[in-house]
Amino acid sequence: MKLLLKVLLFLLPIFQPSISEAKSFVFDVVVSEIIYFDNEVKAKNDSTEFFENDFGISCKSESNLLNYRKLAISSNAVAAKGIGNLKVPIYRVYGGCSSMYGKSYSLINPKFVPNYRNFAGLPNANTGQYLLRGNIPLKDIRVGRWFASPLDGRTGGLPLELYQNFNQLSNPANIILKKPF
């Protein structure tokens, strides 16, 4: 989210001299507000909205000047598109009955989670000998479950269990673990 805000805040000031008033909303919260007032130009009380839905982010632009409406829209479109194409690493612990091509992934690096098997709810048949790491654009991320389920005495609760295809990954790399999960 911080990165998202940074991109928006970086892009919008570029248009500052041209836009009399522009606001950017992400998840209905104003993240950037630029107000430039020119006495010679009268406001026409026009406004518009733009929604970039492929990553589920709604970027709404408002401009009170008809002539600069498109500028406000395009700035947000660029920002939203750029964010959607950002690649983030995802991880899959596998081995034994669990193949590398399965569809359950995690956004969280298992190396940083003590007792990962318990929190991720790995079946016993998964030997946890391998760690697959790949990158995926943010727009392609598909959350299967918000939290891993507590099953058969496992704690579960690991946030953001993803449902992805192996062929969506770019630069997949396998790591053989000295100490399996």
Partner 1 sequence: MFSFKKSKNIELTQTAREIFLVILTKLIQILSKANLTDQAQVVKTLIDLLIQQKDDEFVKLLNGIDMWGGSGAVWEVHIGDNHSAREFEIEMVKLIDLMEKTNVLGKGIKPIRKIFKENVSAKE
CB of 121 to partner 1, least distance (A): 4
- Residue 103 within binding range of partner 1, rule CB under 8 A: yes
Q: Are strands 159-163 and 126-137 parallel, antiparallel or unpaired?
A: unpaired
The letter for the amino acid at 104 is S
Query: Interface with partner 1 by CB under 8 A: which range of 19-27, 54-62, 114-122, 133-141?
Result: 114-122
Q: Residue 82 interacts with partner 1 (CB under 8 A)?
A: no
61 or 134: CB nearest partner 1: 134
* Residue 13 vs 123, nearer CB to partner 1: 123
In angstroms, the CA 26 to CA 172 distance is 31
Helix (H) or strand (E) holding 137: strand 126-137
Residue 130, token pair as written in the block:
């391998």
The CB-of-146 to partner 1 minimum distance in angstroms stands at 8
- DSSP state, residue 7: H
Cβ proximity to partner 1: between 82 and 102 the closer is 102
* 121 touches partner 1 (CB under 8 A): yes
One residue of 144, 159, 170, 174 binding partner 1 per CB under 8 A: 144
Judged by beta carbon, residue 29 or residue 125, the one nearer partner 1 is 125
Which helix (H) or strand (E) segment is 2 a member of? helix 2-11
3-state secondary structure 50-94: CCCCCCCCCEEEEECCHHHHHHHHHHHHHHHHHHHCCEEEEEEEE
Of the listed pieces 13-21, 37-45, 63-71, 123-131, which binds partner 1 according to CB under 8 A? Answer: 123-131
Whole-angstrom Cα distance, residue 101 to residue 78?
34
Q: Using CA atoms, how far apart are residues 85 and 137, in angstroms rounded to an integer? A: 5
Among 11, 65, 73, 120, binds partner 1 (CB under 8 A): 120
State the residues that interact with partner 1 by CB under 8 A: 92-94, 96-99, 101-105, 120-126, 142, 144-152, 154, 156, 161, 163, 165-166
